[in-house]
Amino acid sequence: MHIQRVAGRPISSISLIADISAEANASTLKYRADVPVADTWDLSPIFPDDAAWETEFVVLSSRYEEVSGFRGSLGKSAADLARVMEFEKTLDYSIERLSQYAGLRLSEDSSNAQSLDRDGRLSSLGAKISEACSWVAPEIQEIPDDTFIRFLEDPILSDWQISLQRLRRLKPHILSNKEERLLSLAMPAVSGHHETFSQLTNVDMTFGSVRDDRGRDIELTQNSFSSLLQRPDHEVRKCAFTSFYTEFDAHRFTLASSLASSVKGDVFLAKARNYPSALEASLFPDNVPVTVYDKLIGAVRKRLPDLHRYYALRKRVFNLPELHVYDTYAPLVGAVQSDVSFNEAIVKVLDSLHPLGDEYTDILSRGLKQERWCDRYENKGKRSGAFSYGTYGGPPYILMNYKADVFSDIYTLAHEAGHSMHTWYARESQNFQNYHYPIFLAEVASTFNEILLTEHLLATTTDRAMKAYLINRQIDDLRGTLFRQTMFAEFEKLIHAAEESGAALTLESFRHIYRGLLDTYFGEGVVIDDVLELECLRIPHFYSAFYVYKYATGISAATTLAAQVLTTGETSHYFGFLKSGGSKFPIETLAEAGVDMRTPAPVNAALDLFSRRVNELESLVQV
């Protein structure tokens, strides 16, 4: 069964430059029922009301077991194989629509009992459907090679060529039924570290409070930590950093054991499925060569002097005798005063996307204005942050918590609009089974939009402070997404290689490996407090390894694509990328759009942009 992904931003890295406005007063927030309809999304294109959702839920609940009637027939003929694929597609399509509606309703107000019940029932049904369909893929794998090739030549399977060939690629890594059953039974134990990490860091750990520069006591949490590190007061940053890592230090052995278990689980599953390494097991589904991973790390390492030059600029601007890592997140340029309404933000975003042509901007304009794709403002119980949630059967909705006095929210709108338009074009151009673009490509369109917004804002302002702010913002985006995520990717590679070579994974070995990376990536000009070595134990993505590199490749691809559009005016390659969905492997999709991730060229283009922006910022701040 397909699991719909909700597009969003990296969750493992600190948000690097965000305007810090006064904390929302919960008592002033509206209840959901009091929010004007015009400020909410219109979910009627999915289901006109909750009753219609219930009707489809009942229908799906009553018919999914029919899939068992196809069992034993998939190798008989191409027509039999096509029938089960089409039936499973109807289940996927239905559960995707049900999931989108249930998920969006729950995000409106996470305390709503009806929404919680709806989401819980759907989750239970999804598990039953997955179990009922679990025999389909193994039975397809059992079809003899010559028979399978003959089936694919039949026109009745023309729409299923891509899906079936991708499934067949997995055949060398599919085990016998008994072995697969044992692996399935073992998974809760193999992956138990996820729950341990989550419970420890989100429930058991408490960080106390920090007195901010206004004399207020702020509760220190996983979320407020990043905000406090961006405060202009050095002592506030230092206190937040010290208090935060003091709590991690108290649990360091438990966390190290959990991370070691995660790595051991990855290596075990890779070996069990006959992959050469855990890294190759992770890259295989997207058909990404290991060289892409290695060349990313190599290219970024060569350009670390540019990053170190930026840290030196920070030290001069802040006039600090020592620059600690907790000093590298505070905005180098003061946050700009902002009073931009949501409708004005739409105009700014649409103007920045003018290079993509009228069709793109007209579709997005209708979606944000007339068709109410976006749920605009915060209300009691609403999910925090922002995301885009698109499906084949409904509009590509956007959740925002927009604030007129937070300038970076304009960027958030552009970012999520990029996700939504990627989904829109993929849906319009591909059939259902091929429209889902992979995570490797997910952040390209969103980051592309942010780059165009920066270029537009820089071109339309003469204010020196605003230019410095915009440039600094892009520098810190590149630092957080390209340099930092690559450092994370290198750490994941090293610790998995250590386990595969038979080395012991201990608290000290983790700290030693991570300290080496911290020293290298931050350079001699930044003080590395010993306790920062524990950062490697708190990054959620490290417990689901080999994911973060996709953020770095995504911003690199987006930089190249944006440069192509802005310098040549040619958009056909970019629209080819948007329309491809999941019809090809991601490296092939990008190559056809003019971005060859098998070479370091796209990564170098992003690194060149970083270097150029640092030069520009140096001239603007003149320290």
Q: Which among 416, 490, 492, 499 is annotated as catalytic?
A: 416
**Tokens in use for 438?**
């992979």
To the nearest 10°, the Cα dihedral for 304, 308, 313, 315?
A: 150
Which residue(s) pair with 37 in the sheet? none
Element containing residue 3 per DSSP (H, E): none
- Which residues are within 8 A (CB) of 437 and not within 5 positions of it... i.e. 6 or more apart? 422, 423, 426, 580, 581, 582, 586
Residue 450 is among the residues annotated as catalytic for this protein = no
Sign of the Cα pseudo-torsion (454, 455, 456, 458, in order): positive
CA gap 529, 231 in Å, rounded: 19
SS3 458: helix
SS3 397: strand
CA gap 422, 427 in Å, rounded: 9
Contact at 8 Å (CB) between 43 and 105? yes
Contact at 8 Å (CB) between 141 and 167? yes
Strands (E), 212-272: 217-219
SS3 398: strand
- Which residues are within 8 A (CB) of 529 and not within 5 positions of it... i.e. 6 or more apart? 241, 245, 324, 325, 326
Which residue(s) pair with 324 in the sheet? 527
The Cβ of residue 12 has, within 10 Å, a number of other Cβ atoms equal to 17
Contact at 8 Å (CB) between 195 and 207? no
**CA geometry: angle at 382 spanning 381 and 384, to 5°?**
120
CA gap 202, 195 in Å, rounded: 10
SS3 457: helix
Contact at 8 Å (CB) between 440 and 288? yes
**CA geometry: angle at 180 spanning 179 and 186, to 5°?**
90
CA distances from 556 to 16, 66, 106, 447, 561 (A): 18, 46, 34, 9, 9
The Cβ of residue 13 has, within 10 Å, a number of other Cβ atoms equal to 18
> Residue by residue, what is the 3-state secondary structure of 470-529?
HHHHHHHHHHHHHHHHHHHHHHHHHHHHHHHCCCCCCHHHHHHHHHHHHHHHHCCCCECC
- Which residues are within 8 A (CB) of 66 and not within 5 positions of it... i.e. 6 or more apart? 87
**Tokens in use for 561?**
């694509």
Residue with tokens 């408490």: 206
Secondary structure (DSSP) of 161-199: HHHHHHHHHTGGG---HHHHHHHHHHHHHHTHHHHHHHH
Residues with catalytic roles: 416
